[in-house]
Structure 1
Amino acid sequence: MTQPPPPPPNQPPQGGGFGSPQPQPQDQPPQQPPAFGAPQPPSTPPGPPQQPGAGYGYPQPPQGQPQPGYGYPQAPPSPPQQAGYGYPGAPQPPGPYGQQPGYGYQQPTVPLHPQAGQPGQAGGGRKFNAQVAIIVAAVVAIALIIGGGVWYSKSSGAGGKDDTASSSGGTGDGKGGAEGPSKGTEKVPADPNSEVLFQIPRPKVDKDDSVVVTGSWLTDKVYAKTGVAEIVGYDRDKGTKLWTIPLPGPVCEATQHVTADGRTAVVFQPKMPAKNSSEGCSQVAAIDLNAGKKLWTEIATSGDQPIHFDNVTVSGSTVAVGSTSGGAAFDISSGKSLWTPKPADTCYDAGYGGGAKLVAVRKCGQFEAREIHIQTIDPKSGKVISEYKMAKGIEYASVVSTDPLVVAADVGDSAGDGSGISDFFSVDNKTGKLRARISAPGDSYAAECDGISRIEECSGLAVGNDRLYVPTEEQDSSGDLGRTNSVVVFDLASGKQTGQRADAGDGYTMTPLRMDGGNVIAYKSGPYDKGGQIVSIDGGSFEQVKLMENPGTDSVRDVESGKEPGYGEVLYSQGRLYMSEVYASGSSSGDKYLAIAFGVKG
């Protein structure tokens, strides 16, 4: 895992959280509102470090230097020294009374809509220094990690009748259960060579400014993408505008989860901020992607002040938002409040993982003596169904998958690269007990998470078949084209590798995007004269089938390379690939496009 951009700083005090009371945190470090990180640059070739400046959330790129999206993006910005549009300020250790905005766009367990692709991110997958203040004492706590809890009846992930939560099984043979992995739905085209369907111009932004444009979604009716204080729906094949939802301020957070009827959620600022300032990410809205409508806008308060939220997710019919002031939830159809932070709470829901189930990352205790509770909760009431307590001293955790439940953390800051991952924790769905702990050293594996505030923002990996699919770091290729990597598999029951491996090939690097039934959909970045590819990896045999190969012309590659996993958001479904930026810059450098769409000819 390569070195990421600096971490987002924290937000001003907001108050308590939702759930059973725990010991009151004391003496928290002062908080500063953070800046959204720019996309993670590729390992080759890095450019000169950028310097920060003003922007709607993201650090401002310097004048005269190429921006992400123009061929190979440049190196990440150095730690901010001045405020930006959104969340300025230097990083500070977080506490329960300081707010940290984030970019809650992470690798889901299973898409809620059959056509919904997933970011290779985080757009999706920009690396952040997610371990600003993880303490060395946590290393000692590694051996003390234990699990416990009880499962009860819960609401189904689709918001239907109650059922009993199940525990995903596996045989340990790499086949994903006794009957093997299920079949995927992605069709193999007769001709995988693609053509550019359309390109969306980059929105106009004042010179030397940058604006957060995180969020892209795909249904069977529309491709939707966040613009500057708006969300726009496009025809999937032609790129013509179908609808526009104006917003009073920039989008701060977007969930990748989409319900079966095409609904999702975002968090945004109440108005356009003045330069070097922020209005706070306090507004929560549900969006009907198929109809092109904003269903409602709501806020939650701590005392008489609106809470600034760090992340947003969707599970069933519930929109859940988290922060260092606690969590809140709303009905996705009506906006009805389901829960808000309780004044008496001494712990807080820092954020949630959504999709098939709703999982809270709940934090208790003082900074540098933190205890994290991973709680599967009822999405209708917030009632705790099961709980796994991580070892004391682990400061940050990310939800990789909610069913099966997989959590990532950088224990004792031992990853050493700011990726946010030293270990994965597989937790039993019925009991809340630890099934397996998987060591994933940062110098060996290339997945990444931002557990500081974004909770669900993990990228470059996939979970399915009771397996965890992780890319290795790049290494020298035996061929003539330089570097390559592989995707390897861990069994979630035993924590051991299954022995399966998919090699990217000479000059290619491979990044898992999502599951397709029992198969893994992955993006392959090619050498300088080749376009990217989409492949399907069979969950049983682990054989690769090419679903798409993009044009290798310089003009197309200049656009595609700046939006690959690790830089932008990547969505693939049924012969259509959509790649987009996560911020828009006013700089004259760059490829001038917010998004590009590819389609196979057959």
Structure 2
Amino acid sequence: MTQPPEQHRPPSAQPWYDHAQAPAPVVENPYTLGARRQQPPPPPRGGFLRSRLAAAIGGFVAALLVVGAGAGVYALNSGTDTPDNAVAKPTPGTGSSASPGASAGTGKRPDVNAGRKPGEAAAWAAWSQTDLPRGNHLLHDLWFVGDLVVQAAYKEVVAYKVADGSEVWSVPLPAKVCDTPVNPTPDGKVVVAYANANGDSGVKCNQLQMIDLKSGKTGWHRVLPDSPGSTIITHLAISGDTLLAGAGMSASAFQVTDGRQLFTTGKDNPGACYPHDVAGGAKLLQIDWCALSSDHPYGQIKELDPRTGKVKWRYRPQGDWKVGKVLSVEPLVVTETLSKNVLTWRAVALNANGTRRSVPDIAKYKFDHCGGAGDAGEGAQNCPGAAADATGLALSQGNKLAVFDLANGKLRWAVKADGRFAVAPLRVAGPSVIAYVAATPSKPGLTVEFGPKGGNPKKLLNHATPAQKVEYDMMASKMAYRDKRLIIAPSLLDGDDKVDKARMLSFAPGPS
């Protein structure tokens, strides 16, 4: 019998979660500091959309189905109410909406505003101007200062105007950037780590370079001191004017302003714990892995005074659990994994003094660690598919989104974007959640806002139709929503000259 068109199939009102489901699997960092343990290798990076290719085998439904907690089923169309042939004038002043000239091997780059319909968001795209070697190259954290958005990739740090995506400055570096902190200092300075170009004892991620994001001027440069263990992997975090760089079995703190070394942390005697990762922002945090050579390894997280390194508090999970990722610093929400079974994980909310606040009831809802993106050595704060505020934690997995109350850990509501590859939380603001709904091969994405009970989301941005292919090809992983503007970026840039993908894409309200 002939099947009806996909868009006409009746929607299912069944919840997507299964209360009998066991905890979802997690992939941990295969590198331990101080002792290499046998771990399953990480999957390829690809951000929160990495699993969407499998979903492409099926058809696509034309509505966004929303299953709220007792709120029923709703439909949200991705387009506008205007006729398909209605065309608005391109938004002036978008310097990167169309790239001049041709790209390497792929013809002229598309104008992401040409043919934009009334009611659709104005768009710009930024393209890499660097000739990259073959292979995949990691795109690092998005930083905002003044009217600029800045990002490191390969051997350079580049700043773009938030308003139109035009390049403002570029800082070349001698070797590939290997880590960046999630946030800069309050006055707009950052420190990046890059590899030693010609190290005698192998490649190390040990070169620190300070950059003023407002001007693009470089400041001090330091070589990270050698420490027990390995400096192949280095993680950076900034809190206030303090940079904490964790590598090997120690962590070193520097004053961002002038590069002066403040303190060093190493073995934490209670429990034979060593630095594993760092996190910054409102607090300076260090994650330790402990008793690695024993039969019962575990982990802890502690807050450090950013000037002295004094430990303010320690939180140690009960039993053989170790802290994995920091989903949010303020409020403090972390993930934990079993030391001997990294396929088991949970989220834990902590109070300001490091005591346990709640354990969100996520095990029933089929969520993978970090939205299924895995972990291939990025820092503790690089965990896509999560957002939190003082009262709630939002998690996403593919096209599913759920919000948990941090006071008691209970589910508030859950939604499913039927016919969409992925939906990801951008911001939790009291009872509301702002989320990104990814583009499909035939539809542009959306930026939406869910209310206190999920329900029918409000459309904040209808992403521009001319940018649909660019957005879909991007498989966004880095995301930021600021001043009613969405900026997204992929996890990787491909160095193949025959592949030309935007490194950044933005949508904002535009004239109709």
Is the shorter-chain TM-score for this pair beyond 0.5, marking a shared fold? yes
Contact 2:251 2:264 in 1 (8 A): yes
CA 1:508–1:229: 2 relative to 1, 3 Å: closer
In the alignment, residue 487 of structure 2 is paired with which amino acid?
A: Y
Written as runs of structure 1 = structure 2, the 5 A alignment for 1:401-480 is 401-411=328-338, 416=343, 422-430=345-353, 432-441=354-363, 444-446=366-368, 448=370, 450=375, 454-471=379-396, 473-474=397-398
Hey, what's the Cα distance between the residues in 1 that align with 2:385 and 2:179?
A: 19
CA 1:456–1:445: 2 relative to 1, 3 Å: same
CA 1:403–1:224: 2 relative to 1, 3 Å: closer
Find 2:179's aligned residue among 253, 257, 269.
Answer: 253
The equivalent of 1:356 in structure 2 is 282
Hey, what's the Cα distance between the residues in 1 that align with 2:393 and 2:286?
A: 21
Written as runs of structure 1 = structure 2, the 5 A alignment for 1:201-280 is 201=128, 203-207=130-134, 209-271=135-197, 279-280=203-204
Hey, what's the Cα distance between the residues in 2 that align with 1:428 and 1:451?
A: 29
Contact 1:353 1:401 in 2 (8 A): no
CA 1:594–1:3: 2 relative to 1, 3 Å: farther
Written as runs of structure 1 = structure 2, the 5 A alignment for 1:298-317 is 298-302=222-226, 307-317=231-241
State the 1:374 CA deviation: 1.4
Contact 1:423 1:441 in 2 (8 A): yes
In the alignment, residue 372 of structure 1 is paired with which amino acid?
A: G
Hey, what's the Cα distance between the residues in 2 that align with 1:316 and 1:422?
A: 31
Contact 1:358 1:377 in 2 (8 A): yes
**2:411 equivalent to 1:510:** no
CA 1:530–1:404: 2 relative to 1, 3 Å: same
State the 1:8 CA deviation: 5.7
- Give unmatched runs, 5+ long, in structure 2: 1-22, 57-117
The equivalent of 1:521 in structure 2 is 434
Hey, what's the Cα distance between the residues in 2 that align with 1:231 and 1:377?
A: 29
The equivalent of 1:43 in structure 2 is 51
Instruction: Give me the CA root mean square deviation.
Output: 3.7
Hey, what's the Cα distance between the residues in 1 that align with 2:207 and 2:280?
A: 19
In the alignment, residue 38 of structure 1 is paired with which amino acid?
A: R
State the 1:334 CA deviation: 1.5
The equivalent of 1:96 in structure 2 is none
In the alignment, residue 386 of structure 2 is paired with which amino acid?
A: L
Q: Deviations over 1:149-188 (max 9, x none)?
A: xxxxxxxxxxxxxxxxxxxxxxxxxxxxxxxxxxxxxxxx
**2:457 equivalent to 1:544:** yes
Hey, what's the Cα distance between the residues in 2 that align with 1:547 and 1:580?
A: 19
> Highest Rg: 1 or 2?
2
CA 1:489–1:517: 2 relative to 1, 3 Å: closer
State the 1:596 CA deviation: 2.6
State the 1:195 CA deviation: 3.0
Secondary structure at the residue paired with 1:381? coil
Find 2:478's aligned residue among 548, 564, 569.
Answer: 569
The equivalent of 1:560 in structure 2 is 471
Written as runs of structure 1 = structure 2, the 5 A alignment for 1:119-158 is none
State the 1:243 CA deviation: 1.4
Contact 2:275 2:287 in 1 (8 A): yes
CA 1:427–1:239: 2 relative to 1, 3 Å: closer
The equivalent of 1:492 in structure 2 is 406
CA 1:373–1:507: 2 relative to 1, 3 Å: closer
Q: Deviations over 1:66-100 (max 9, x none)?
A: xxxxxxxxxxxxxxxxxxxxxxxxxxxxxxxxxxx
State the 1:532 CA deviation: 1.1
The equivalent of 2:291 in structure 1 is 365
State the 1:413 CA deviation: 6.8
Contact 1:265 1:284 in 2 (8 A): yes
CA 1:519–1:259: 2 relative to 1, 3 Å: farther
CA 1:292–1:538: 2 relative to 1, 3 Å: farther
Identity among equivalent positions (%) equals: 23
**2:497 equivalent to 1:584:** no
The equivalent of 1:56 in structure 2 is none
State the 1:266 CA deviation: 2.0
State the 1:3 CA deviation: 8.1
In the alignment, residue 435 of structure 1 is paired with which amino acid?
A: R
Hey, what's the Cα distance between the residues in 1 that align with 2:234 and 2:150?
A: 22
CA 1:543–1:315: 2 relative to 1, 3 Å: farther
CA 1:198–1:397: 2 relative to 1, 3 Å: closer
Contact 1:530 1:551 in 2 (8 A): no
Contact 2:393 2:428 in 1 (8 A): no
CA 1:350–1:304: 2 relative to 1, 3 Å: closer
In the alignment, residue 441 of structure 2 is paired with which amino acid?
A: Y
Hey, what's the Cα distance between the residues in 1 that align with 2:227 and 2:368?
A: 42
The equivalent of 1:325 in structure 2 is 249
In the alignment, residue 165 of structure 2 is paired with which amino acid?
A: G
Contact 2:285 2:303 in 1 (8 A): yes
The equivalent of 1:195 in structure 2 is 122
Hey, what's the Cα distance between the residues in 2 that align with 1:304 and 1:596?
A: 41
In the alignment, residue 363 of structure 1 is paired with which amino acid?
A: W
Contact 2:24 2:363 in 1 (8 A): no
Q: What TM-score results when the alignment is normalised by the length of structure 1?
A: 0.61
Hey, what's the Cα distance between the residues in 2 that align with 1:378 and 1:518?
A: 33
- Give unmatched runs, 5+ long, in structure 1: 16-27, 49-190, 475-483
CA 1:518–1:586: 2 relative to 1, 3 Å: same
Structure with a larger share of its residues in strand? 2
Find 1:339's aligned residue among 263, 271, 284.
Answer: 263
In the alignment, residue 450 of structure 2 is paired with which amino acid?
A: I
State the 1:231 CA deviation: 0.5
Contact 2:345 2:369 in 1 (8 A): no
Hey, what's the Cα distance between the residues in 2 that align with 1:441 and 1:223?
A: 36
Hey, what's the Cα distance between the residues in 1 that align with 2:433 and 2:158?
A: 29
CA 1:581–1:3: 2 relative to 1, 3 Å: farther
CA 1:37–1:506: 2 relative to 1, 3 Å: closer
Q: Deviations over 1:227-257 (max 9, x none)?
A: 3311011222333322111111111112221
Give the count of matched residue pairs. Answer: 420
State the 1:462 CA deviation: 0.7
**2:299 equivalent to 1:375:** no
CA 1:402–1:305: 2 relative to 1, 3 Å: closer
Hey, what's the Cα distance between the residues in 2 that align with 1:442 and 1:414?
A: 18
